[in-house]
Structure 1
Amino acid sequence: FQFRFRTYGSTEGNVDVWLLDYVTVREDGMVPAPEFEEIAFVTKPSSFLVEPWTAMPWPHFVLNQNAYTADEAVTVHRSFGEGSNSQQNIGLKAQRVDQLGSVNEWTPPAGNVPNNAVSGLFTTDYVGETNPVPLFNPAISGFPTFHVSLWETEVGAANETNQDGVTDNDSIVHVQTFQDYYAYDDGSAEKAWALDGIGGELALRFDLEQPDTLEGVMVHFTPFFDDATPENFVLKIRGEDPDNPGQPGEALQEQFTLHQPQYFTDGYDQFQTYLLDEPIAVSGAVFVGFIQEDDRINVGLDKNTNTNPDYLWYKFPSTDWNASTIEGSLMIRPRLRVGQGSLAAVSDPTPAPAPAVFPNPGRGTCLFDLTSPSFVTIRDASGRLVEDLGLCQEGRVEWNAPEPGSYLVEGRNQGGASWTEVWINQE
């Protein structure tokens, strides 16, 4: 026999999205079916950082990680079955996954039952119950990515079944990133947001926790009915209006480069980085966004978080600034040059002789010889940080690429002089 699943909706991009969870099929199944008692995860926390952040640079975070780590992490669960069930022996673990090691793990005392004899939907605060302090190892350096795992090991004691949880339902993982950007969104676009009018401008406010240098703006342009690839826009970076705190003020630097939305076909919810004409030293409140030349450029809208009413502003050539009333979080992020030295050196970089990268094209391994100690980073063709090599000593440096493609090898010596080389990996 066969199953057929049909969905009715639009195929014009990120419009009608649905998920088939799982189907259980058993040969010679019992009639009536045996009783089923289970507790399963429904949703995970959108972040383990304090609101409104879902991501921030690690060097900014570790300066005051107790203030930036969430003091609660609420998950939603469902208790299945005819009777009530108990949730027992919950646990939490934070493990760095971009490098080996650096594991932090906490488990509550055996027999801990934060939710006893529950039916239907209920919540659990994993941070409040386990009190993991610190959640992330402060001795870590670089730009780490963590998997924060949550689990429950037993259910059913309330109705005397003492049934073990179904393996696929009793754990869930949240990916917590600490890269070179701030974010309000959780990385998934459930809807789209756009300005309906020629010359519309949007500005998303970010209150930076530390002074830094703004290099560009990351945007997820989501496919939604109209293909906006031919449309032009110009980045706009503003400070705060001193007469109207919280609102966009004057431009910090005029931008002249015309950009176009870029869509991705090799994955979902991906971001494109659009670099500024020149890096800008920023601190405190900064507004990042763009002015559209024509009409409607759809940006991804995360509906699992809701920061738009507090941080998103828009205007048209004949209007004043207006606060957005659409719930959700716009998928725009400021990309910073974090931990790369003084702002003066970044804002007015001095060129330096670039070492030859070889073999070019290469097959997996990139080599180059440094004539002086240098801070080295690797970025992909879109400007996304791939790896921070930190301070590399004089001599030969070897780097292994994770996948084929073009990479920017960027270096800056301790005197502030910088260089950039393009390397192509064919394997």
Structure 2
Amino acid sequence: MKYLKLLLSFWVISPAFAQVQEVTLPWASSASMTADGIETTDTILPPFVDDFSRSSGVPNPTLWSDARVWINDAMPLYQNSVGVATFDGCNEFGKPYLAGSTNSDTLADVLTSNYLNLQGMSNVWLSFQYQRAGLGEAPSSTDSLVVQLYSPTDGQWTYVWGAKGTGSADAFRTAMIPIQGVNYLQKGFRFRIAAYGARGGAFDIWNVDYVQLDKDRNAADSIITEPAFARVHPLIIGNKSYTSWPWWLDMSNSLANRPSSLTFTYRRMGTVPSGGWSLNLGQYRWFENGTLVQQLTAVPVITNTQHDQDQTFDVAVPGAALGTLTGSTVVETKIWFDGSAAGLRSNDTVRGRLELDNYLALDDGTAERAYGIENVIGSRVAQKFITGGLGNSDSLKGVAFNFITFEDDNNAFKIAVWAPADSGDAPGQLLYISDSTYEGTRGWNIGDVIPYSLDSAVDIGAYSAVWIGYVDMSTQSTVYVGLDRHRALPNNMPRYYGDGFNWYPSLETGSLIMRPYFRYNPANMKLPIYRDDREFRFYPNPATTQLNVQSYGEGDMIVRIVGMDGRVLIEQCSTPRTTVDISTIAAGAYIMEIIQGDQFWRTKWMKHRW
């Protein structure tokens, strides 16, 4: 599959005689979930309204019968409110519908409404906003976005509207579609929005927002009148570089990054009411590890007539926030506004989250692209990390990656650490390269960041900065790491890539989801011996050469070791107490499945090489 992928962009950075290439591929971060179906008899009545401001990543199952599109804020440009539905060539699990396919005349993502009851209604119109590309790959002139209507009378889907790609991104536009004819104005009517394009990946992007279907409308009834947050909650960081840092660093440390305030973007949309729109802006609650630190619900009423444009307001971070921490800390915030005629309630609230554990991060946690180095075996990628604020006991224990895997990938890599060069910006002397060769696997959910522990801890206390990265050991495929396009690298922490002989500065915008961690291994690599209500037990976790599995039930059991890409790597039929040889599989994260009689059990575990 690797050689069939369409590369959206690449640079040849090396001299003319070299072939090493830095590339990024389109990537969908769809949530690994499915929506519940609605029976034909469970029809819903208009108004049908969805602005996709639910934060679950999948369409609202009370409105939609499928979950193939991705509900997100990563792909749109200048949307009116938080959340859009992104259409591409990947299914709900983020995998291509047809690996390697770049044909633009095939049906890709589809978003299908549940059954509606339009019986006895008139002047029914369907409207929505749509955008070509956004931050994704632009659909070409052979790609299209279409609307089809379903008649419960004859059971047929009929094309009624379409828009073609242009090869470039554009602003959101509005589609207005009348629903006419007795064959549609019935109980059991449905509509669907569908994209025709390449089914081989996250190509030919369309973003859709504000879907509305209701009676008593007309062709001019396209104005949305409500206030809404126009952007997601900003990252809970200040003006320094890191989006997460070790919890034991106090706020005077050069690596810690608590903000003094956070800026939120909202819009007042539609016709300006007489005297302006009065809103109570800036209400919030701030929690740390589930405990309320501070809240503010009494705020000034803000009235203005500036409509259909981005506006901002600031919220001060509580003075007691992120004080003396005693362990890993999760910050959760809720920011909202209210007022007269506030419209949809789901888009007047945004939520934020900050995790402080034992790692450094430069990314926001969402990959819009897949980054890799092609055309050379043994390529390497190195990211500079400022580490001068860490203490003598803060040795490097491992690195966590968000790997992007495709159908035929069998990725192998080593973790490496380089000292700064004596001169220039490139990496210098190699300080460490792992004896272990790891398998780069995707997590159970696409956005998972999987930790890989070093063979031995690396003392970096002598350096104010180090280069941390990986060496691609794959021979038939390429290691791809998630690339966060929204977070540009700071000037003092560049990224380089190389072929083993030369280093080249990366020209790709964005931060790799690659997080070094210190002092200790993550908690999910130190799970205790596990026993649950279904009477299964396995140990150790993490394991090195073998796993001990025990069932307290009767009869033989089947034990499977499954890769994060779904491949069954080991399967054996055993007695209720057995040992599984795992010496032949690479270090990394895996799934164990146990079947005994009518019981089925699944859990994550880690293979580790000490």
TM over 0.5: yes
For residue 168 of structure 1, give the secondary structure of its aligned residue in structure 2. Answer: helix
On the 8 A contact 1:74/1:123 being kept in 2, the answer is no
What corresponds to 1:103 in structure 2? Answer: 293
Structure 1 segment 34-45 matched on structure 2, within 5 A? 36-45=224-233
Offset of residue 23 of structure 1: 2.8
1:333 & 1:276 partners in 2: Cα distance?
Answer: 13
Does 2:242 match 1:60?
A: no
Distance verdict in 2 for CA 1:327–1:125, change over 3 Å: farther
Q: Number of residue pairs matched?
A: 344
2:414 & 2:222 partners in 1: Cα distance?
Answer: 62
What corresponds to 2:368 in structure 1? Answer: 190
Q: Deviations over 1:263-308 (max 9, x none)?
A: 23x4221112122111112243122111113453221111121117
What corresponds to 1:330 in structure 2? Answer: 512
Does 2:325 match 1:145?
A: no
Does 2:309 match 1:163?
A: no
Once the two structures are aligned, what percentage of the paired residues are identical?
A: 21
Counterpart residue type for residue 146 of structure 1: V
Offset of residue 404 of structure 1: 6.0
Counterpart residue type for residue 295 of structure 2: E
Does 2:451 match 1:277?
A: no
| Among candidates 297, 302, 319, match of residue 484 of structure 2 | 302
1:253 & 1:227 partners in 2: Cα distance?
Answer: 31
Counterpart residue type for residue 361 of structure 2: A
Counterpart residue type for residue 482 of structure 2: G
Offset of residue 317 of structure 1: 2.5
1:148 & 1:18 partners in 2: Cα distance?
Answer: 31
On the 8 A contact 1:194/1:298 being kept in 2, the answer is yes
Structure 1 segment 385-424 matched on structure 2, within 5 A? 405=603
Q: Deviations over 1:346-384 (max 9, x none)?
A: xxxxxxxxxxx76x54449999xxxxxxxxxxxxx9679
What corresponds to 1:290 in structure 2? Answer: 470
Structure 1 segment 219-368 matched on structure 2, within 5 A? 219-223=401-405, 226-227=406-407, 229-244=409-424, 246-264=425-443, 266-283=444-461, 284-293=464-473, 294=475, 296-307=478-489, 310-319=493-502, 321-337=503-519, 361-363=531-533
What corresponds to 2:26 in structure 1? Answer: none
Structure 1 segment 52-131 matched on structure 2, within 5 A? 52-62=241-251, 64=253, 68-83=257-272, 85=277, 87-96=279-288, 99-107=289-297, 109-111=299-301, 113=302, 116-126=304-314, 130-131=315-316
What corresponds to 2:380 in structure 1? Answer: 201
Offset of residue 66 of structure 1: 11
1:332 & 1:34 partners in 2: Cα distance?
Answer: 44
Q: CA RMSD in A?
A: 3.7
What corresponds to 1:399 in structure 2? Answer: none
Mind listing any 5+ residue stretches in structure 1 that lack a counterpart?
155-161, 341-356, 368-380, 385-402, 409-419, 421-427
Instruction: Write 1 or 2 for the structure with the bigger share of helix.
Output: 1
| Among candidates 25, 47, 51, match of residue 213 of structure 2 | 25
Offset of residue 7 of structure 1: 1.9
Distance verdict in 2 for CA 1:227–1:53, change over 3 Å: same
Distance verdict in 2 for CA 1:263–1:67, change over 3 Å: closer
For residue 468 of structure 2, give the secondary structure of its aligned residue in structure 1. Answer: strand
> Which is further off, 64-73 or 230-239?
64-73
Q: Deviations over 1:361-415 (max 9, x none)?
A: 4449999xxxxxxxxxxxxx9679xxxxxxxxxxxxxxxxxx963568xxxxxxx
Counterpart residue type for residue 505 of structure 2: A
Offset of residue 11 of structure 1: 3.9
On the 8 A contact 1:46/1:54 being kept in 2, the answer is no
Offset of residue 58 of structure 1: 1.4
Offset of residue 90 of structure 1: 1.8
Distance verdict in 2 for CA 1:233–1:59, change over 3 Å: same
Offset of residue 132 of structure 1: 2.6
1:174 & 1:187 partners in 2: Cα distance?
Answer: 12
Offset of residue 137 of structure 1: 4.0
Q: Which has the higher contact order (CA 8 A, sep 6+)?
A: 1
1:366 & 1:137 partners in 2: Cα distance?
Answer: 40
Higher Rg of the two aligned structures: 2
On the 8 A contact 1:85/1:119 being kept in 2, the answer is no
Q: What is the TM-score with the length of structure 2 in the denominator?
A: 0.50
For residue 373 of structure 2, give the secondary structure of its aligned residue in structure 1. Answer: coil
Distance verdict in 2 for CA 1:407–1:297, change over 3 Å: closer
1:302 & 1:203 partners in 2: Cα distance?
Answer: 16
1:135 & 1:10 partners in 2: Cα distance?
Answer: 51
Q: What is the TM-score with the length of structure 1 in the denominator?
A: 0.69
What corresponds to 1:376 in structure 2? Answer: none
On the 8 A contact 2:397/2:520 being kept in 1, the answer is no
Offset of residue 183 of structure 1: 0.9
Offset of residue 88 of structure 1: 3.6
